[in-house]
Structure 1
């Protein structure tokens, strides 16, 4: 089995069942606080600005984050479902065993973040910023990530499935071994060195041939 065909095994979040339910999150979070063992549902989290906050064994469902900055957070064994994280600042954060499903991530800031065992599915990540991030075992599926920025990131065992990646920026990011064959990658920002070794479809290969300065001409 080739590297591009290898199955990526993602460790799932370890979130206990029957977590205490929180439906009115009016707690002020400060630097280095811990939020653990909770089901936070059907509420808003707004006006929070803290660094190095620890989130562990937490499930967020139907939560809207507004004017929130949790830089350099430690996010482990956490799930986000039907949440709006648009424009949230999670720069420099560490993610491990995190699942993000059916969420809005428009303009979310993940610069310099480390993502391990992360699955993002059925989500809208337009204009999301992953610059200088370290992504290992990251899977993005059935999502919209047009104009997202992955510039100068480190990829290892990552995969994109049925995702809109039009106009995404990948300059400075090695895509060797990354499967993008089921995605729309039109007008992505990428060079020859970055795209070398990526798994693409035959149609995608034709469109990427412009990087080599080739002109495709039918013989008849």
Structure 2
């Protein structure tokens, strides 16, 4: 399908379900597609800049390098999708859910993220500065080498997660339970940010080893 076909459907004011649709490199910017369902669609390098996509459902879609800059994905559900290296810069993600997705290298800078949820999602090398995960239960999230500067993890519970080699400058972890997180490669440049967090004995030894200290 091309832009003209999608635009014609969008003018009907109805929400459509697209299955196995090929929209690779298609310009869908600024279209109103609220409530649409995209199932097993190819949206690689598609341009959704400024599009209205609230309450949409994305299932098993391939969208590497897709551009969602400044669009509205509020209350949307994204399941088992591959959005590696995609841009969600400035995107409204209020109430959205990413479930079993691949967001390696994705850019969520300046996104609006109130009540945004992730579950079993890979975000290695992603840019997530300033996101709030406060009081969240984080399950199966891979933040390896991600940019997490100024993220808020206060009172969050980590389960089967990885923070290995992530950028944690100015993050907050007060009250967080980090026992279910891989803390490999983390340097305690500012130990105060972990004040009040819970870690295991093994993790404590690992962090001290990063400082060159030996635990006996």
TM-score by length of 1: 0.77
Confirm whether residue 121 of structure 1 aligns to residue 119 of structure 2: yes
SS at match of 1:66: coil
1:48-197 mapped onto 2 (5 Å cutoff):
48-136=46-134, 138-190=136-188, 191-197=190-196
Tell me how far apart the structure 2 counterparts of residues 157 and 72 of structure 1 sit (CA, whole Å).
30
Structure having the larger proportion of residues in strand: 1
RMSD: 2.6
Deviation by residue 1:112-131 (Cα, 9 ceiling, x = unmatched): 22323233222222111112
Aligned length: 198
Deviation by residue 1:98-156 (Cα, 9 ceiling, x = unmatched): 22122111111112223232332222221111123344455431233211120123445
TM-score by length of 2: 0.78
SS at match of 1:111: coil
Instruction: Call closer, same or farther: CA 1:212–1:197 in 2, change over 3 Å.
Output: farther
Q: Answer whether contact 1:109 1:129 (CA < 8 A) is retained.
A: yes
SS at match of 2:183: coil
Tell me how far apart the structure 2 counterparts of residues 115 and 194 of structure 1 sit (CA, whole Å).
22
1:28 match: 27
Instruction: Call closer, same or farther: CA 1:114–1:211 in 2, change over 3 Å.
Output: farther
Q: Answer whether contact 1:114 1:134 (CA < 8 A) is retained.
A: no
Tell me how far apart the structure 1 counterparts of residues 107 and 93 of structure 2 sit (CA, whole Å).
13
Deviation by residue 1:67-116 (Cα, 9 ceiling, x = unmatched): 32222333211111111000001122232222212211111111222323
Q: Answer whether contact 1:125 1:146 (CA < 8 A) is retained.
A: yes
Q: Note the C-alpha offset of 1:25.
A: 5.6
Unaligned runs of 5+ in 2: 1-14
Instruction: Call closer, same or farther: CA 1:142–1:111 in 2, change over 3 Å.
Output: same
